[in-house]
Amino acid sequence: MSDTAVKKKCLPVYLVVDTSGSMEKHTDLLNKTVQRVVTNVADSPRVAEFAHVSIITFNTGPHVVLEMTSLDDMTHLPQLACTGVTNYGAMFALVRQRIEKDVAKLIAAGRGVLRPAVFILTDGAPSDKDWATQFNALTDAGWKRRPHTVSFGFGNAVEAVLARIGTKGAFDAAVDDTAAITNMLNTLLHTLVQSAQAEALRIPTTVPGYRSIPIEYMEE
């Protein structure tokens, strides 16, 4: 049996949350819902062992609010704060940097690392004009560690942008903002549970309260 065959599989997961000024009214809901999702995952040993989670927020700049960790090892969850504008480019660049670092660390720890998954929640259009360059670098087919990305939009999110940044799925909310945030994070929880059971990423095909958008970019 090869070394690879006996390695425990793990899935690096990045929850990327728009925390621009337009999200300020949802700050309490974001914090409470993220806390509930993380707590539920941590209470499921199988999921906590399989899914290693990082939380990145983005507004005028991107911020790592939770470094990649096994939820078994997490002692506290930082509070999210909302301010500034919605710059996408720097966020995509930071996600790429973190994947390089995090995957290398997981491999060094002896884990069998699946392709990372990035779940993006946003309520607005990008404020920067050249963000596609950084997104293309993140999803470059020539980069071995390129992630699968799934986008969720509500409020003033632009359908064409959601379609562009979701390589494996794109969803636009058909419900009010409160339900959109709650449903998205609940869907993330269910996705992690199903993925842990299958020991492979299971992307949702439907999301309660959201409409699926045909995506423009499909990673082979």
Whether the pLDDT of residue 82 is over 90: the answer is yes
pLDDT tens-digit series, residues 173-202: 999 999 999 999 999 999 999 999 999 999
pTM across the whole model: 0.93
Whether the pLDDT of residue 216 is over 80: the answer is no
Confidence of residue 40 (pLDDT cuts 50, 70, 90): confident
What pLDDT is attached to residue 72?
67
Question: How many CB atoms sit inside 10 A of residue 28's CB?
Answer: 10
What are the start-end ranges of the E strands in the chain? 9-18, 51-58, 62-70, 112-113, 117-122, 148-153, 169-173, 210-212
Q: Domains in the chain and their CATH numbers?
A: 3-212 (3.40.50.410)
Cα separation, 164 vs 92, in Å, equals: 13
Element (H, E) at 155: none
pLDDT tens-digit series, residues 56-79: 999 999 999 989 987 666 667 788
What pLDDT is attached to residue 37?
85
Whether the pLDDT of residue 1 is over 50: the answer is no
What is the average pLDDT value for the chain, to the nearest integer? 91
Which positions ≥6 away from 68 have C-beta within 8 Å? 12, 52, 53, 54, 98, 102, 105, 106
What pLDDT is attached to residue 76?
73
- Backbone torsion region of residue 70, taken as left when φ is above 0, otherwise alpha when ψ lies between -120 and 50, otherwise beta: beta
- Residue 146 gets which letter from DSSP? P
Q: What is the CA radius of gyration of the chain?
A: 16
